[in-house]
Amino acid sequence: KAGVTQTPRYLIKTRGQQVTLSCSPISGHRSVSWYQQTPGQGLQFLFEYFSETQRNKGNFPGRFSGRQFSNSRSEMNVSTLELGDSALYLCASSLQLNEKLFFGSGTQLSVL
Amino acid sequence: DQQVKQNSPSLSVQEGRISILNCDYTNSMFDYFLWYKKYPAEGPTFLISISSIKDKNEDGRFTVFLNKSAKHLSLHIVPSQPGDSAVYFCAASAQSGATNKLIFGTGTLLAVQP
Q: Does B49 touch chain A (CB under 8 A)?
A: yes
Q: What are phi and psi of B96, to 5 degrees?
A: -65, -15
Per-residue pLDDT tens over the stretch A15-43: 999 999 999 999 999 999 999 999 877 89
Closest-approach residue (CA) in chain B for A92? B43
Q: What are phi and psi of B37, to 5 degrees?
A: -115, 140
Strands (E), chain B: 4-5, 10-14, 19-25, 32-38, 45-51, 56-59, 62-67, 72-77, 86-93, 103-104, 108-113
Contact across the interface for B100 and A35, Cβ inside 8 Å: no
Per-residue pLDDT tens over the stretch B9-32: 999 999 999 999 999 999 999 999
pLDDT at B108: 96
- Of the candidates B41, B100, B107, the beta carbon closest to that of A101 is on B100
Q: How far apart are CA B111 and CA B114, in angstroms?
A: 10
CB-based contacts of B14, cutoff 8 Å, min separation 6: B80, B112, B113
Task: Tell me if residue B84 falls in helix, strand or coil.
Answer: helix
Closest-approach residue (CA) in chain B for A32? B100
